[in-house]
Amino acid sequence: MRTIIVGCGRVGAGLAGRLAEAGDDVTVVDVRTDAFDRLPEGFPGDAVRADGTDEDVLRRIGIEGSDRFFALTEGDNRNILAAQLAAETFSVPMVVAKVNDPVRAAAYADLGIATLCRTGLMLDAVNTYLGLPASGLPGMQAPTGHHPGAAHHGAAADDAPVTEPVAATATPSGQEA
């Protein structure tokens, strides 16, 4: 399997190590070189310092023909932009975006992108610890909408494809809004 991971934080690095150990051909992309220090020693994949929301960068690292794509940065906007490129422009069959906002997580799943919502997962972990019922917020949510490669990953085959891009916004300091 060919896997691309955008974001080499703890989750991205941990996933990269596990997938490489399982035999995947893994490429990890991050804008910070020091992020690659989190990768396991002897990581056999590629670590590329670049912007994972740049279409040309994704082409250069071999997204065409990839089987899986994970957008795992700290920014919801960056993750969804990268995920939409992977799903809609490059037709990667399995695309997952880490999203902190539960409302966005559900909306992006409706657009055909699987979402991993840290807020829902953490709240449910605390609720379980306290003996409380589940929050009802999405944790890991399969795509419910459609993108060109998603039909066999939970998306309805007769849904209309998404045609409007979601743009990331930035504040003057360069941080995502």
Residue 107: its pLDDT value, please? 86
Q: Determine the average pLDDT of the residues in 138-152.
A: 66
110 pLDDT more than 90 = no
Quick one: what percent of the chain has pLDDT higher than 90?
Answer: 64
Residue 176: its pLDDT value, please? 37
165 pLDDT more than 60 = no
Which single residue is written with the structure tokens 């045609």? 163
Q: 136: pLDDT confidence band, cut at 50, 70 and 90?
A: confident
Weakest mean pLDDT among 15-19, 63-67, 91-95, 166-170: 166-170
160 pLDDT more than 60 = no
Beta strand pairing call for 140-141 and 114-117: antiparallel
26 pLDDT more than 80 = yes
Q: Determine the average pLDDT of the residues in 124-134.
A: 93
163 pLDDT more than 50 = no
CA-closest candidate to residue 150, choices 82, 87, 63: 87
Report residue 53 as tokens.
């929301």
The pTM assigned to this predicted structure is 0.79
Residue type, 84: Q
Residue 175: its pLDDT value, please? 35
Give Cα separations from 106 to 54, 69, 112, 131, 167 (angstroms). 25, 19, 10, 26, 17
51 pLDDT more than 50 = yes
Give Cα separations from 112 to 66, 70, 107, 130, 165 (angstroms). 17, 14, 9, 34, 13
For the chain, the average pLDDT equals 83
Residue 141: its pLDDT value, please? 84
Strand ranges inside 24-109, DSSP E: 25-30, 46-49, 68-71, 94-99
